[in-house]
Amino acid sequence: MERILNKIKAYETIIIHGHKRPDGDCYGAQFGLKDILVNSFPNKRIYVVGETSQFVDFVGKMDTIADDVYNGALAIVVDTAVESRISDPRYKLAKEVIKIDHHIPVDNYGDLRWVDTNFPSCAQMIAYFYLRFKDKLSLSKAGAIAMYTGIVTDTGRFRFRGVSQLTHQIAGMLLSKGVDVEYIDQQLSKESLDVLRFKGHIYQNIVTTPGGFIYAIVKQEDFDKFNVTTEEGAAMVSLLGGIEGYPVWALFIEYPNTDEIRVRIRSNGPNIDKVANKYRGGGHAKASGATLYSWDELPFLIKDIEETIKNA
């Protein structure tokens, strides 16, 4: 952390990247870090770039910058274990790259890396970074909202493994900066009738296997039929969790205009990150993502997951 702070001090332009299809934690880490740097170093140029998320766009708006802004700049990539998942490949144009992440490491990209899987969210890492140097750094209410949102979303509202005393201490610190928990809960709990109907579709199309795996498939035409976004579709993986007798669950999403099938895998039992790694993915021990290039791969993935459950 000391080395990261020194690098930040050494650069006049800093560009913060996240991952493709960003979630609340990605946004929370990106905009939380931007707020800290903007308030601590007002003479520096600080930008956040990458794909947008309607779900958490109340946290902040992405910047649009030209390629030449990267000349002599520092790029910081947060919440991204796999280099191919970094949103906006222009991070390669920067003079140096820093990686800050809490996932099980897959790609060791970056000139300087801070990776710690003990943190349940990357936003908590950024908040911890602020606490570590709070005598040298500043944080506003907007940044506190961003990081609190990231922590809340990636911990399942403080329900998932990895939540610790430190998590709650940091959450308390962010509340002291003016975070309105009711406002954040309202923003995260908004739901349209289309999404409600889509949930019914998911429940009606659940597939179970003899080996204790439960999953659902979302096809391209489903997004148009139910008028939901891919982001809203991906969030449906949580619907399949906690069903008795099925310790591993997944959502298979056929993304429009691509040849990829994105898989969101979750577990309340065996570790599933190694299965995800096998299928071009990664993440946490009990929450990972993977990619299939064809539905022909589905039976093999199911077999691997069932073997993982059996051997747990």
What is d(CA 198, CA 220) in angstroms, rounded to the nearest whole number? 13
CB atoms within 10 A of CB 104: 18
**Per-residue pLDDT at 250:** 97
pLDDT at 107 over 80: yes
Residues whose CB is less than 8 angstroms from the CB of residue 61 and which lie 6 or more positions away in sequence, other chains included: none
Domain architecture of the chain: domains with CATH: 2-188 (3.90.1640.10), 193-311 (3.10.310.30)
Least confident of 6-10, 48-52, 136-140, 156-160: 156-160
> Above 90 in pLDDT, residue 160?
no
SS (H, E, C) 90-109: HHHHCCEEEEEECCCCCCCC
Mean pLDDT, range 17-31, rounded to an integer: 96
Q: Which residues contact 224 (CB under 8 A, 6 or more apart)?
A: none
Our CA dihedral for 87, 59, 121, 169, rounded to 10 degrees, sits at 160
Query: Kind of pairing, strands 282-283 and 248-254?
Result: unpaired
SS3 state at 153:
helix
Question: Within 10 Å of residue 296's Cβ, how many Cβ atoms?
Answer: 8
Give me the pLDDT at residue 283, please: 84
* pTM for the structure as a whole: 0.83
CA distance to 198, 199, 201, 308, per residue, from 222 (Å): 8, 11, 9, 30
Region 229-247: what's the mean pLDDT? Answer: 91
pLDDT band at 157 (very low <50, low <70, confident <90, very high): confident
Q: What is the model's pLDDT at position 235?
A: 87
Average pLDDT of the chain?
Answer: 95
pLDDT of 142 = 97
35 Cβ neighbours under 8 A, 6+ residues apart: 139, 140, 142, 143, 144, 146
In 3D, which of 261, 274, 211, 268 has the Cα closest to residue 233?
Answer: 261
State the pLDDT at residue 231. Answer: 84
Q: Pick the range with the lowest mean pLDDT from 61-75, 87-101, 285-299.
A: 285-299
pLDDT value at residue 256: 75
**pLDDT at 257 exceeding the cut of 80:** no
Q: What is the pLDDT of residues 274-295, one digit of tens each?
A: 999 999 988 888 999 999 999 9
